[in-house]
Structures are given as structure tokens and as C-alpha cells.
Amino acid sequence: MPAAALTVDGQHVTTKLAMKMEDSLQAYAVRAACFIGELDVPFSEEFDGHDFGATHIVAYLGEEPVGTVRLRWFQSFAMPERLAVIQRFRGHNIGSALLERCRMQALGRGCNMLYAQALPRDVGYWEKQGWRRLVPEEEGAQPKRIVAMVKAVDPNKPLPEIEAPEAVVLRREAQLDSTGMPHGTVSN
């Protein structure tokens, strides 16, 4: 981590790219603990078929894997998702360290936009990390299930405003069948 060293109880927080099977397993285990164990997400939704086409970043406190994020690469943006920090290690900015690592990865690839889909209740968290809504909130609009959030990878190159309606920028991700092709048709 090039950013200021983060410590929890005197132990350093480090982040690394999952490069070996064991690293990936640690990333998955942290997600399973948070999403399946804590939030009761079914296994087959959590492990959705996109894990082997993505970059995984793991955060460690000493030797212990305590957080992870999955970064997927699209033509014009990189998408952090499945951000998770083990319950008892929350409140120490480990999530920010993971998102910062995502930003650095994107910078290294010459990608200038980070895009994420957040739950409405988490929008405040993302805004604190320097993200903004892709489409400005409309007054009196219906409550949304998911909010598209973006952040410029290079703060000196701000993102252009987007004209597209939210229904277009929030296209539902295709669910893959066993051959890796989308199930049925994908609706906007």
C-alpha cells in the first residue's frame, strides 16, 4: 500500500492481489463469512460465476485475511464489488484501503473510471470514500434498490457528467449458465 500505513492494535494492514489459489481461497472465505454467514446470502448467488474473470484483492492484519474486494474489468471502467471486511475488524478503514488498492490497480491499467453499484443505505459510505452518484438524485424520485456510484481514478481527470437515464447505467448483470453464457435475455 503506497498510502499512509494503516494499523489496527499495532498490527499493519496490508493489501495484496490474489495470485495463488490459497490467496483466492482467503478472499472467498472472507466473503463467505460476511455474505453467507452474516447476511444469509445463498451460496450460488454469492459465487455467481464471475470470480474467475476478476481480480481479487485481499487485506491482511498480520497474517490474518480480514477483508477482500473483487475487481472486474470492463472496456471503459473497473468495477469493485463484493467488498467485505470481517465483522470484528470493521471501523478501521480496511474497506478504504481495499478501494484505494482498486484505484491504484485501475491507474496502472490506464483505466480512468471506477464504477460500483451500492445499496441506498451505503451511499454515504461511498461518498465518504470520494465517490459520487453517476446520475444525480432526482427530487421526489422513487426509492431505488441499487445506486450507481463512480469515482475518477486520477483526481486530476474528473469524469464527465453522464446524460443516460439511471435505468440504462444500472443494467442488471447477466446471470451465467454453466457454459458462461447469459441465461435467457438480459432486460434493461
Partner 1 sequence: MTAPTSTAAPSGPVVTAKLASTSDELMQCFMLRAAVYMGEQHCPYWEEFDGNDYSASHIMFYVDGEPAACLRLRWFSSFVKLERGAILKRYRSNGLFHFMLGWAKEFARKKGYPKAYGHSQHRLWGFMERDGFRKVDDKVFHFSDHEYGAFVCDLNVDEKTCPTVFTDPMVLNRPEDQLDQQGILEKSAERVPTNPHTEWTKPRIQAH
Q: What residues make contact with partner 1 under the rule CB under 8 A?
A: 25-26, 28-30, 32-34, 36-38, 40, 42-44, 46-47, 63-65, 86-88
- Containing 166, the helix (H) or strand (E) segment is helix 166-169
Using the minimum distance from each CB to partner 1, give the nearer residue, 8 or 159.
8
C-alpha cell at 101: 488498492
Q: How far is the CB of 62 from partner 1 (least distance, A)?
A: 10
Q: How far is the CB of 33 from partner 1 (least distance, A)?
A: 4
- 8 Å CB contact between 78 and 109: yes
HEC secondary structure over 24-79: HHHHHHHHHHHHHHHCCCCHHHHCCCCHHHCEEEEEEECCEEEEEEEEEECCCCEE
Q: How far is the CB of 63 from partner 1 (least distance, A)?
A: 7
Q: How far is the CB of 36 from partner 1 (least distance, A)?
A: 4
Using the minimum distance from each CB to partner 1, give the nearer residue, 82 or 103.
82
Using the minimum distance from each CB to partner 1, give the nearer residue, 13 or 134.
13
Q: How far is the CB of 183 from partner 1 (least distance, A)?
A: 16
- 8 Å CB contact between 85 and 95: yes
Using the minimum distance from each CB to partner 1, give the nearer residue, 44 or 185.
44
User: Cα(64)–Cα(188) distance, rounded to whole angstroms?
Assistant: 41
Using the minimum distance from each CB to partner 1, give the nearer residue, 6 or 86.
86
Count CA atoms closer than 13 A to 101's CA, side-chain side: 28
